[in-house]
Amino acid sequence: MNMTLGELKSRKHEPIRLAEIVSMEGRYYMVRFYIGNTGYILVNDQDKAIMFSGACSAREAMRGFIVADFDLIPPTGTDEMIGMPDSSSEPMRVQF
């Protein structure tokens, strides 16, 4: 599901269980977050994912909200670089 920053502000009293800052090819970052068991992507008014130029900018966008945990999910290109097959393992996470 998608949610704009304005919609999120109207739900400011609801705690965010987890906010994930996801690296998109190492150049841009988007925010995925969970309220209860429902996941959302932070989008603009045109329903497109907001792309931040840095992880700190993405985290700053979530300032003022009740966030229990922040994780940074960096790009993982090692499978492609060394020729290993795709695996179904969890992506690397860094507490941020």
Q: For 29-58, how does the pLDDT look when each residue is reduced to its tens digit (9 = 90+)? A: 999 999 999 999 999 999 999 999 999 999
Percent of the chain with pLDDT over 90: 72
Instruction: Confirm if 33 and 40 have CB atoms less than 8 A apart.
Output: yes
Mean pLDDT computed over every residue of the chain: 87
Q: Please tell me the predicted confidence (pLDDT) of residue 30.
A: 96
Give residue limits of the domains in the chain. Answer: 2-95
Q: In this model, does residue 76 exceed pLDDT 90?
A: no
pLDDT of residue 90 exceeding 90, the answer is no
If one counts every other C-beta atom within 10 angstroms of the C-beta of residue 52, the result is 19
DSSP state of 16: B
